[in-house]
Amino acid sequence: MPDTLLSRFLRYVQIDTQSDARSDTTPSSPGQWDLLRLLETELRALGAADIHLDAFGYLTASVPATSDKDLPTVAFLAHVDTADFPGANVKPLLHPAWDGQPIRLPDDPAQVLDPALYPDLRTAVGKDVVTASGRTLLGADDKAGVAVVMTLVDYLLAHPEVKHGPLRVCFNPDEEIGRGVEKLDLRALGADVAYTLDGEYPGEVNWETFSGDSAVVTIEGVSTHPGWAKPQGMVNALHLAAKLLAVLEAERAGPEYSAGRQGFIHATNLEGNTARAVLRFILRDFDLDGLAAKGARLTQLCTGLQAAEPRARIQLEIKPTYRNMGEWLKQDMRPVDLALEAMRATGLETKIIPVRGGTDGSRLTERGLPTPNLFDGGHNWHGPLEWVAVQDMELAVQACLALIRLWEERGGDYPRSFSRQ
């Protein structure tokens, strides 16, 4: 039986590729190698060119150009790892032509996919829906993307009559722990524009993400014997940390008060004792001015705390994490405009959703490779109720084909950032 989008997807999700933030290797977990090596073998069987699996688990391959025009190189990426939820022994369940009735997952009957609670499911009535069985995630994030890219390669190699420029594909590890593309060699990839397949809704294109900084506040108090705390001038670092947090809470600065395009200051960790407390924050905003304002507010609070208690020593360090890809894409919107046109050409209503987080594309765009994100059809990510409809993944393949055709028609004068080096 020939391989299909569905048979690929079912095969990939059964490989445990959960990434591990505590590991400092790349990939962070051995299971990711299992999927990467399988994909390497499958790319070879399909007849892809330049197949290369590097020491950090970046698997790249080419689909050579079929057009005789001079065109930029377009890349498609998907990540092989899955999120921080059990990913071993995934038993994917197919619900063919789903009738719209709630789906109770057999291994944990408390897990129910009910369209009354998850309205996105209503778009899947009549489609072939895949779920997990209750105790694990499904791994559609991002094995739906992996299956879409592999099916795209299969189709293009079997249909040389489809005119296109040079294409690259890349499967990368460790997106879920924020290290997805740190070690990716962009010269070796050699693409001028790229797309990640890691979004949800058919028609979705993401070209804006948060910009993020991290901040660490270190408070050194004065520790004494508690019996002599008053004469010896104890300054309790824990109380100073609590004051800082209380102001931020009163200002509703945290993510639990923010939605849409609003940013936040999120306290992620507090460790300490009387002598010393360390508070960790992440700062997020879509606009760099807004992000800077959040850093400035934290600075102001630390300065105020220091002035109120001169015997303490308060230090604040802010470091950039990632930047909104929109800062770069706005300078040349063709990668986004062609993606939106490809969605319409596929018969889909476009959905532009700013991502309240970072994507692999945020870092790639910042490093000089413009990389918007496209849908792959998965929903309810990172938990047991993840699902995907086969027909939605098929739409993602069609949208990528439309996009490839558009780049062939109109991409000739797009700047070559990496393909000519």
Give the residue numbers annotated as catalytic, written as ranges.
81, 175
CA distance 396 to 394: 5
Alpha carbon 266 to chain centroid, angstroms: 19
- Number of helices (H), then strands (E), in the chain: 11, 17
| Nearer Cβ to Zn ion (75/316) | 75
Structure tokens at 399: 């949208």
Least Cβ distance, residue 290 to Zn ion (angstroms)? 25
Which one of residues 16, 81, 141, 386 is an interface residue with Zn ion (CB under 5 A)? 141
Number of residues that bind Zn ion (CB under 5 A): 3
| Residue number, 163 or 382, with CB nearest to Zn ion | 382
- Taking CB under 5 A as the binding criterion, the range among 134-142, 301-309, 319-327, 365-373 that sits at the site for Zn ion is 134-142
Q: Which of 197, 205, 204 is nearest to 360 (CA)?
A: 197
Burial class (CB in 10 A: 0-12, 13-18, 19+), 256: exposed
Secondary structure percentages of the chain, helix, strand, coil, to 5: 35, 25, 45
Among 142, 200, 213, 394, binds Zn ion (CB under 5 A): 142
Does residue 386 interact with Zn ion by CB under 5 A? no
The dihedral region occupied by 300, where left means phi > 0, alpha psi between -120 and 50, and beta the remainder, is alpha
Those residues with Cβ within 8 angstroms of residue 300's Cβ, 6 or more apart along the chain or in another chain: none
CB of 81 to Zn ion, least distance (A): 8
Q: How far apart are CA 120 and CA 115, in angstroms?
A: 7
The distance of closest approach from Cβ of residue 142 to Zn ion in the complex, given in angstroms and rounded to an integer, is 4
Please name which of 105, 302, 311 lies closest in space to residue 114, comparing C-alpha atoms. 105
Question: Length of the chain in residues, anyone?
Answer: 421
Considering only residues 184 to 213 of the shown chain, the ones binding Zn ion according to CB under 5 A are 198
| Closer residue to Zn ion (CB): 142 or 408 | 142
> For residue 136, what are its two tokens?
């694990």
Residue 380 or 419: which CB sits closer to Zn ion? 380
Compute the least distance from the CB of residue 104 to Zn ion, in Å: 26
Q: E strands along 31-145, which residues?
A: 49-53, 59-63, 74-79, 93-95, 103-104, 112-113, 129-131
Considering beta carbons, is residue 72 or 361 the nearer one to Zn ion? 361
Contact 82, 17 (CB under 8 A): yes
Sole window of 87-95, 122-130, 142-150, 235-243 interacting with Zn ion (rule: CB under 5 A) = 142-150
Closest CB to Zn ion among 198 and 392? 198
Instruction: Report the nearest approach of Zn ion to the CB of residue 127 (Å).
Output: 21
CB of 406 to Zn ion, least distance (A): 25
Residues that bind Zn ion (CB under 5 A): 141-142, 198
